[in-house]
Amino acid sequence: MTEETPGFEEKPDVPSGATPDDAEPKDAPSAEGASPAGDASAAAQTAGLTAQLDQVRTALGERTADLQRLQAEYQNYRRRVERDRIAVKELAIASLLTELLPVLDDIGRAREHGELVGGFKSVAESLETVAAKMGLQQFGKEGEPFDPMIHEALMHSYAPDVTETTCVAILQPGYRFGERTIRPARVAVAEPQPGAQPVKSDDTTAEAADDKESGGPDEG
């Protein structure tokens, strides 16, 4: 058995070239001392990122508003251009149809006198068809009420059988293109006879005739 030598204590083996201090365990750095500095650094970094994020959001909002404004302006521009294009087209068609009205008047007069025959009739009808396809509409009929917005009175007279100013003759038909009146209808009008009694309805006339045939209303 091995006898222990009194007075000597066992020491851990020390690697060659190392000092005795290296063999002793060193104290670990205190976590409490490093914590405040780390928290402050993290807070500063978070604040910086938050500020950058706010700036990016602000810039994004401004760019989005700019794009929306540009899109709205572009849509308004497109609508305005389309509206102007349609207006110019309608004006050009109306101008062309206005130039054709004397020709259509000649065709109408030839038809009234029975002169619209042969090849001339075919050409005239083709011209009227094309004008109608372009949107030309004729208006003006005898017996319709006089409207100064679409009628032009060239002749005036009184008649006992009318209750209001009435077109009794169409001297020249009127034409319209869409909502635009190209030429008013030129008409002869008749007004009620001054002092004339209103025309009675058919029912009133029939009742008067029955009373006359039966000798008048019953008495007593």
Over its C-alpha atoms, the chain yields an Rg (Å, rounded) of 53
Give the pLDDT confidence score for residue 88 in this predicted structure.
Answer: 93
CA 109 to chain centre: 43
Give the single-character DSSP code of 180: E
Query: What gap in Å lies between CA 137 and CA 182, rounded to an integer?
Result: 10
The dihedral through the CA atoms of 158, 159, 165, 171 has a sign that is: negative
Give the pLDDT confidence score for residue 196 in this predicted structure.
Answer: 61
pLDDT of 218 > 50? The answer is no
Q: Which residues contact 152 (CB under 8 A, 6 or more apart)?
A: 184, 185, 186, 187
Residue pair 154/171 in contact by the 8 Å Cβ criterion: yes
H/E stretch holding 204 reads: helix 202-213
Among 98, 60, 90, 121, which residue's Cα sits nearest to residue 175? 98
Q: Which residues contact 193 (CB under 8 A, 6 or more apart)?
A: 158, 159, 160
Q: What is the mean pLDDT of the chain?
A: 80
Largest CA distance in the chain: 173
Query: What gap in Å lies between CA 174 and CA 181, rounded to an integer?
Result: 8
Residue pair 134/153 in contact by the 8 Å Cβ criterion: no
Give the pLDDT confidence score for residue 116 in this predicted structure.
Answer: 87
Beta strands 174-177 and 185-192 are: unpaired
pTM of the shown model: 0.57
Query: What gap in Å lies between CA 98 and CA 73, rounded to an integer?
Result: 37
Query: What are the pLDDT digits (tens) for 17-73?
Result: 545 455 454 554 444 544 566 677 888 888 888 888 888 998 999 999 999 999 999
Helix (H, G, I), strand (E, B) or coil at 165: coil
